[in-house]
Amino acid sequence: MSAVDDLLENIPLPRMAKVAQRFSRPKVENIQEAVNKGFEKEGMLKTLAPGSTVALTVGSRGIAGLPELVRVL
């Protein structure tokens, strides 16, 4: 037995099932255009005063072209 098995010996565990989730993966041909349209649609840029500083964080898996997307943002 492993250390984990020893620790769980007297603990009842619920039944479990392996699950896979699949997401649609639309392809964006022109990242610059898509980002600009998104900002215009949401009106986000209107909320910023000229010369404002903003922070951008990135931490997502599975996004093709992520470096280009971050550059455009």
Give, rounded to a whole angstrom, the gap between the first and last alpha carbons of the chain: 52
pLDDT score recorded for residue 2: 87
pLDDT score recorded for residue 38: 87
Please determine, for residue 66, whether its predicted confidence score (pLDDT) is greater than 80.
yes
pLDDT score recorded for residue 42: 76
Please determine, for residue 1, whether its predicted confidence score (pLDDT) is greater than 70.
no
CA dist., res. 73 & res. 68, Å (int): 9
3-state SS, residue 42 = helix
Structure token digits, residue 65: 């072209």
> Ramachandran region of residue 8, left (φ > 0), alpha (ψ -120 to 50) or beta?
alpha
Structure confidence by residue, pLDDT tens digits, 3-62: 988 999 899 989 999 999 988 888 888 999 998 888 888 787 888 898 999 888 888 777
pLDDT score recorded for residue 25: 82
Structure token digits, residue 2: 């492993």
